[in-house]
Chains A and B, each alone.
Chain A
Amino acid sequence: MVLSIFQIILLFLVAAIAGMGSVLDSFQTHRPLIACTLVGLVLGDLTTGIILGGTLELIALGWMNIGAAQSPDSALASIISAMLVIIGNQSIATGIAIALPVAAAGQVLTVIARTITVIFQHAADKYAENGNFRAIDFCHISALIIQALRVAIPVLLISLFVSPAGVQQLLALIPAFITTGLKVASGFIVVVGYSMVINMMGAKYLLPFFFLGFVIAGFTTFNLVAFGVLGLFLAMIYVQLNPKFQMNQTSMNTSVVANSLDDELDN
């Protein structure tokens, strides 16, 4: 598969959108599920893009930026991995093996990009002195370009030089025991994401619900929707029954009870 000029331009745009998504963290275009799907669409193999996206999404489930801390970078990882898998006709397991080192490299690029953005912040300070609204808007929005290019430039370089034979030759250099090992490891690498979510949750006294979910999943074949609904009801029941949330109402309720007792006595 040789890329057309049109495809290279589209890949550049998809990479830019994913790059902007990774800093905005709003539309989620940097998540593997979206980014790999878009790459699949551009390269004419939507299904592979979607399946790779789903696989990487599970690994990246807990990758999140809390405060100023940076997680591994899903934007660059998803796009380069999807490109190489589809162009080089590789397996999904190989895609994971490609994605993870790229995620580490992307994390470094993110930190650099977010440090460069300090310049935009200082420029905005200057424009504020003159009350220049337009320039402040421009500083803010143009900082996005740095983030877009952070992903789009590496992707452009790869799309210009990549060839199916090249990808296959490169990946053939990896010995078989490593690819098998990576495949095995990809089964349990997801726990890093789960652990990041668990650690981020502040309320550790709610951990019994985690173990409850674990035990129920172990002995049933409920799907994720069932777990979502069950969890929602558990949450509602917990909040309704928790004495912590009843402080104001208890005094009211007791007086109501007292009144009704009075009424009964009157009768």
Chain B
Amino acid sequence: MDIKKSLTKGDLINMFIRTNFQQASFNFERIHALGFCFNMVPAIKRLYSSPEDQVAALKRHLSFFNVTPACVGPVLGVTAAMEEAKANGAKIEESAINSIKIGMMGPFCGVGDPIFWGTLRPITAALGASIALTGSVLGPILFFTLFNLARLASLWLGLFYGYKKGLDLVLNELKGNKLQKITEGASILGFFVMGALVSKWTVINVPVVVSQITASDGSVITTTLQNIFDQLMPGMLGLGLTLLVCKLLKMRISPIMLIFILFAVGIVGSALGILA
């Protein structure tokens, strides 16, 4: 009888450390393919002893893969659990492992991108930047610490949870609405803070004079276009511009192109005295 093969805690810790370098070999052909294989190396070494099995496992995990890097944990955990079952003689086809991997890519990109790039990073970075603008070193330190703590927690918990739950996670838990709740909640937070940022940190000033009234005491009251805008709705020009840029981005105009267009607007606008 075979002795049951299983991953040690050390293997999982080794894999956790490796996940931090998930994108080291990011390439346009297979994105994270080599990265995922690199993460799986400790597991493959532990679980398969014959060279043929090792080669087969390595090749299996060199296929196309892509996920938000901070969210690779659960996918890796579940895959490792499946490999462990296979190594212990369970009838798991190679294609089953591949399709589970591919199947988890979508949902975890769907969760990871809005949470990490849409919510967590903009918020921690904006918080850090607002402190940094006063010249305090606390700003960068705060951003670095907060973001990385959340990221490492996600990798660690995801990997161990995925490994422990194994296939169960894919078949039952992901069908529940827990992931959707988290994604929606994070999107709300992201949208809300983004709305505040558009209002607070977009500076557009239109100093075009609309009227000049000499008051009874002789002082001159000047009303500019900007005064009128601010009375209607503070920050409304910033909002309009944001929505316009959203539209233009959707028309596949590249961000860097838009930045240069806005630069041109700034130069022309200030030369004509429309913007200040």
Q: Report A's interface with B, CB cutoff 8 A.
A: 20, 23-28, 31, 33-34, 37, 46-47, 50-51, 53-55, 57-58, 61-64, 66-68, 71-72, 100, 103-104, 107, 111, 114-115, 117-118, 120-121, 124-125, 128-131, 133, 136-137, 139-141, 143-144, 147, 177-178, 180-192, 194-203, 206-207, 209-219, 222-225, 227-228, 230-232, 234-236, 238-239, 242, 244-245
Q: Report B's interface with A, CB cutoff 8 A.
A: 20-31, 33-35, 37-38, 41, 44-45, 51, 54-55, 58-59, 62, 66, 69-70, 109-110, 113-114, 117-118, 121-123, 125-133, 135-137, 139-140, 143-144, 147-148, 151, 177, 180-181, 183-205, 233-235, 238-239, 241-242, 245-246, 249-250, 255-256, 258-260, 262-263, 265-271, 275-276
Question: Which of A51, A111, A128, A200 has the most B CB atoms < 10 Å from its CB?
Answer: A128
Alpha-carbon separation in the docked complex, A140 to B185 (Å): 36
**A54 to chain B: closest residue by CB:** B132
A24-B242 contact in complex given A125-B62, A185-B263, A201-B187, C-beta closer than 8 Å = no
B58 close to A213 (CB less than 8 A):
no
B267 close to A117 (CB less than 8 A):
no
A53 close to B194 (CB less than 8 A):
no
**A56 to chain B: closest residue by CB:** B129
Q: Specify which of A58, A144, A187, A206 is in contact with B204 (CB 8 Å cutoff).
A: A187
A139 close to B69 (CB less than 8 A):
no
- B201 contacts which chain A residues (CB < 8 A)? 58, 190
Min Cβ gap A226→B in Å is: 9
A209 close to B191 (CB less than 8 A):
yes
- B183 contacts which chain A residues (CB < 8 A)? 203
B117 close to A24 (CB less than 8 A):
no
Counted as pairs of residues, one from A and one from B, with CB atoms less than 8 Å apart, the total is 374
B51 close to A68 (CB less than 8 A):
no
Q: A28-B144, A58-B201, A190-B197 are in contact. List 7 more A-B contacts (CB 8 A).
A: A53-B129, A140-B25, A183-B270, A194-B202, A197-B194, A203-B184, A234-B188
A144-B269 contact in complex given A24-B69, A61-B125, A214-B195, C-beta closer than 8 Å = no
B34 close to A140 (CB less than 8 A):
yes
B188 close to A191 (CB less than 8 A):
no
**B246 to chain A: closest residue by CB:** A195
Question: Which of A26, A144, A223, A232 has the most B CB atoms < 10 Å from its CB?
Answer: A26
Min Cβ gap B263→A in Å is: 5
A50 close to B199 (CB less than 8 A):
no
Alpha-carbon separation in the docked complex, A6 to B27 (Å): 34
A136 close to B34 (CB less than 8 A):
yes
**A103 to chain B: closest residue by CB:** B256
A192-B195 contact in complex given A24-B23, A68-B31, A239-B184, C-beta closer than 8 Å = no
A124-B34 contact in complex given A198-B242, A212-B195, A234-B192, C-beta closer than 8 Å = yes
Q: Specify which of A24, A62, A124, A139 is in contact with B22 (CB 8 Å cutoff).
A: A24
Q: Specify which of B117, B123, B128, B194 is in contact with A194 (CB 8 Å cutoff).
A: B194
**B131 to chain A: closest residue by CB:** A54
B137 close to A46 (CB less than 8 A):
yes
Q: Specify which of A33, A51, A107 is in contact with B256 (CB 8 Å cutoff).
A: A107
